[in-house]
Amino acid sequence: MRQIALFAIAGLALAQDSKHAEGVHAFRDIARVLTSPRCLNCHVSGNRPLQGDDNHVHNMRVTRGTDGAGGTPVTRCSNCHQDANVTTPHGPPGAAGWRMPSAAVPLIWKGLTTAQVCQALKDPKTNGAFSPEHLIEHAASDHFITWAWNPGPGRLPPPLSHELFVERMKAWVSAGLPCPE
């Protein structure tokens, strides 16, 4: 009887280790999206957004305002970024309410390791006060996130499909939000 209990405990530990490993693997896939140019260009420290697939500093001396939509009247994001992508190559991308994350919760990924991005994403103090379930909903339906897979001419989408990105978010949350070391 004692051997059966030890085997059951060992099996449970192995299953937990496997689920943890799957969660870490899922987050590594998530991080590939979060650290792609479509996300990194706005998820930066400081107040200067980046642009392009090479993440160069945004033209026109644009800065983040407290609401994320531009620091001065002449540098408001909506002055150039409209409700939809401009269809000419390298024209401004667009989505309704175009902006960076607010200065209050800037959701910074640029310059962080994968482990640090993971910690920032799962911490309500640095993720916009999202619960794990809300993170999944946000990844699935937020119009800025879904825009990344339709970035307009001259821009690469993230390296995973949107459907796979959402599935990986679900797997990460289901595994208990483990982070790589």
pLDDT in tens, 66-80: 888 888 888 889 999
| 158: number of Cβ within 10 Å | 20
| pLDDT tens-digit map of 83-110 | 999 988 778 999 999 999 888 887 888 8
Q: In whole angstroms, what is the distance from residue 77 CA to residue 69 CA?
A: 5
Name the token pair of 175: 């595994």
What are φ and ψ of residue 97, in 5° steps? Answer: 70, 30
pLDDT score at 57: 94
Q: In whole angstroms, what is the distance from residue 15 CA to residue 83 CA?
A: 47
Judged against a pLDDT cut of 80, whether residue 181 lies above it is answered with: yes
Percent of the chain having pLDDT more than 90?
A: 66
Give the C-alpha distances (Å, rounded to integers) separating 138 from 24, 38, 120, 128: 20, 16, 16, 11
Judged against a pLDDT cut of 70, whether residue 2 lies above it is answered with: no
Asked if residue 177 lies in contact with residue 132, where contact means CB atoms within 8 angstroms, the answer is yes
- Please state the rounded mean pLDDT for residues 38-44: 93
Q: In whole angstroms, what is the distance from residue 42 CA to residue 64 CA?
A: 9
Burial grade of 27 (CB within 10 A; 0-12, 13-18, 19 or more): buried
| pLDDT tens-digit map of 130-139 | 999 999 999 9
pTM flag (> 0.85): yes
Name the token pair of 177: 């939000």
Give the C-alpha distances (Å, rounded to integers) separating 167 from 12, 30, 80, 128: 24, 10, 33, 21
